[in-house]
Chains A and B, each alone.
Chain A
């Protein structure tokens, strides 16, 4: 057969197949979103917390200062629970790189996997395999699809964070002017949902004078964030505020501004770690930024995982459990457990925090 004939045959084949219809997106809608079938399990609030639980943390990627603090809190909690702590994870935050780690954790028969999903769906099949093997799955930071985990530790409500980011930006801009966002990766679930809330907030009449000119992505990479911040300031000479809802991005942007002649003219705010931001707050580059205590997220996740594994809770709405020094928590809708409202850091209070 000649090349042309070959191609023609393939094209005809494809057309013929499409003509007889088949499985399409709309024909399968709703099929894949079936609720998990763990309704048979019953919560026993009085069940004792098991000791010796193997609790493994799988963050988005290793060697990220923010992540280190989070899992550090987890390690403390696992110690209190007299369990076995383990930390594994990929070096790159790509969608599929976490899957083989989950598979390994299944093989090692962990009791709890605490995971921050790089892609809400790519990890799903393997997380469900883990749950079939009796492992409890708790997500933190970046949720996986609801059907493939038992509980989600949310650092604060998405709404609350988005609102406070816009509020800080508006205060720093004096109520009007151009603002830009410096985010992490374009796929980061948490970043994107905050940005969505920010857009809704910015559309409100009281924020009509604030103009979002650009969303840049620093990929949670220090150098990339640094150059993106530089690019923003060069492309938008009237820019008043850069909002960076990621600890890597806000630190890189602050570093750039503090050493440039934009210092004092352009404000930086967003979500950052007090230890990383302290010098920029002290030198006046950054007036205010916010964050929850990341160590508490890892801490809460360990207690949620242990409570699930001990049968105290099943992840159903309304169930209550005790999380050590953090006190009592209630499971919200869709297995969501909210840590609490974010804290605003300023020159006045930053020295009270050490993480």
Chain B
């Protein structure tokens, strides 16, 4: 009896979403108190810029993973978007045309993934590993090994700048808007309910009138679109359009999403947890770097977090079931 009671109590605490948000808050407080220069407004700006691409790509990725699929081509989409941006800029196209075209390109690349996964019914892991290589390859075809750097300062300054005299970076607006949009879609609309339903059981969802294929297709399009946007922002932030931009970023994105409590098997997850996961990853790296921790140790920390992100929710679930 008392053992059962303890189990229920543990289960209540074992909600990974709550846990990850709590851990993130604790890490932020400890870092601000113990790491020199962590709590400054300037560092806050750096932190936001560092997590920007991971933060925005993690949002659509969350929805994709909740349906039980995955998209590993996001970083290559970012790179191709960046390469095309550089190519068109070199071709003397106006930036006001290039940016929407790069977003459109991202959406199209996402649609290609969606087509293979939903229309041809291929496993998303295989498809997106394929397009990971394909899109990165295309990026090198487009821009080769060169870098394009001379983007208009009005745009690059906006990306690295802050809102008025406040310490809040301009790009925070983009993160917040996208987080709200995807949060509302996932947690407050029929689309979101369909996403969870498909992730829990595609068969059952189908009987309930959801069209999983169509849903997934559009989620891939959204993922591509946001990755295209990330490519544009990356290019402007570093004033450097290159085919190798964002290489390897897909792992950080998946890590952040899993760390945020989204089940890799689909059906479970909350966007608030993912946002906390992104902040946790970003601020840990930032704080460790400020404390002069070596790169190797940084990689170890990221690795441990990744494992924790898979173990943590599993453990939490098991405790709850007991």
Question: What is A's interface to B at a CB cutoff of 8 Å?
Answer: 10-11, 13-14, 17-18, 21-26, 28-29, 31-32, 62, 86, 88-91, 94-96, 99-101, 103-104, 106-109, 119-122, 124-125, 145, 186-187, 217
Contacts and interface: CB of A to CB of B under 8 A. Distances in A.
Contacts of A187: 145-147, 242
Interface in B250-303: 285-286, 289-290, 292, 295-296, 299
Contacts of B43: 103, 107
27 contacts: A14-B97, A14-B100, A17-B94, A18-B93, A18-B96, A21-B94, A24-B95, A25-B89, A25-B150, A28-B150, A31-B153, A32-B152, A89-B295, A95-B240, A96-B238, A96-B240, A96-B245, A99-B238, A103-B46, A104-B290, A107-B38, A107-B40, A108-B290, A109-B37, A121-B239, A122-B239, A145-B149
Nearest 6 pairs of A and B residues by beta carbon? A22-B94, A186-B145, A121-B149, A22-B96, A18-B97, A122-B238
B46 A24 contact: no
B242 A31 contact: no
Given A31-B152, A88-B292, A125-B156, A13 B100 contact: yes
Nearest to B50: A100
B239 A125 contact: yes
A145 B238 CA distance: 13
A24 B93 contact: yes
Nearest to B240: A122
Given A95-B242, A119-B242, A125 B154 contact: no
B112 interface: no
A311 to B, nearest CB: 25
Interface string B193-232: 0000000000000000000000000000000000000000
Contacts of B156: 125
Contacts of B149: 120-122, 145
B239 A24 contact: no
Interface string B117-152: 000000000000000000000000000111101111
A145 B247 CA distance: 23
B238 A121 contact: yes
Contacts of B151: 32
Given A14-B100, A121-B239, A125-B238, 16 more contacts: A21-B94, A24-B89, A28-B153, A29-B150, A32-B150, A95-B238, A95-B240, A103-B43, A107-B40, A107-B46, A109-B37, A120-B149, A122-B149, A122-B238, A186-B145, A187-B242
B71 to A, nearest CB: 19
Interface string B153-197: 111100010000000000000000000000000000000000000
Nearest to B299: A91
Nearest to B100: A14
Contacts of A91: 295-296, 299
A107 B147 contact: no
Q: Do most interface residues of chain B lie in helix, strand or loop, or is the interface mixed?
A: helix
A107 B37 contact: yes
A3 to B, nearest CB: 8
Contacts of B296: 91
Given A13-B100, A14-B100, A119-B238, A26 B92 contact: yes
B240 A62 contact: no
B90 interface: yes
A100 B289 contact: yes
Contacts of B50: 100, 103
B93 to A, nearest CB: 7
Contact of A11 (B104, B153, B245): B104
A86 B150 contact: no
A124 B107 CA distance: 31
B153 A23 contact: no
A14 B105 CA distance: 11
Contacts of B308: none
A119 B147 contact: yes
Contacts of B34: none
A95 B97 contact: no
Contacts of B234: 96
Interface in B58-117: 89-90, 92-97, 100-101, 104, 107
A120 B242 CA distance: 12
A75 to B, nearest CB: 15
Nearest to B145: A186
Contacts of A101: 289
B92 A25 contact: yes
B314 interface: no
A104 B298 CA distance: 14
Given A26-B92, A108-B290, A119-B147, A17 B97 contact: yes
A121 B146 CA distance: 12
Contacts of A90: 295
